[in-house]
Structure 1
Amino acid sequence: MEKQEFITKFENDKKRNRFIRLLLAMDQFLNVLFWNGSHDETVSSHIGRKIEKGTATWFDKKLCCFLKKLESEHCKKSLGE
């Protein structure tokens, strides 16, 4: 992705306000810090992939169950985020 495309993508992001983007950045930071995951992926997406592969820890599964209470099938829906 070219620099200008990248800038335009985030300047035109009307569905995510500044606070939501901050939460997303924190989520990605926690994925790197605690799960040694990609800086471009959220914790729930990372856990969702681990569950599909069968490599999720008990903590991963518990966290995903907690997130299910906030949004049905959250970890599955977040794959690729």
Structure 2
Amino acid sequence: MTQDELYAKFDNDAKKRSRAMRFLLVLDQMVNVLFWNGSQDETISSHIHRRQQGGRATWFDDMVCCLLKRLEQNHCEKSLGE
């Protein structure tokens, strides 16, 4: 990825999400790394959904996904790739 592409990606992301939402996204990714041993580029809900698809989800994963469904219908499924 070239420097111009990176700047364009940042500009697009800054337009799409507020500073507060980008901060919450970073916190989400940090918790994913610390507690789920996931990728620093993936959210908790995306990580959980991949685990569910692979049959490796724990009861706690299922509980977190269930709680997130109360905020947004099919949140874990929609977040795949975030």
Alpha-carbon distance in 2 for matches of 1:2, 1:27? 27
Unaligned runs of 5+ in 1: none
Work out the percentage of aligned pairs sharing the same amino acid.
62
* Residue 44 in structure 1 maps to residue 38 in structure 2: no
Unaligned runs of 5+ in 2: none
Q: Which has the higher helix share?
A: 2
Write the mapping of 1:1-81 to structure 2, written as runs, cut at 5 A. Answer: 1-13=1-13, 14-81=15-82
Count of residue pairs the alignment pairs up = 81
1:26-46, Cα deviation, whole Å (9 max, x unpaired): 111111010110010000000
1:33-61, Cα deviation, whole Å (9 max, x unpaired): 10110010000000000001110011000
Secondary structure of the equivalent of 1:12? Answer: helix
Q: TM-score, normalised by structure 2?
A: 0.92
Moved over 4 A (4+): none
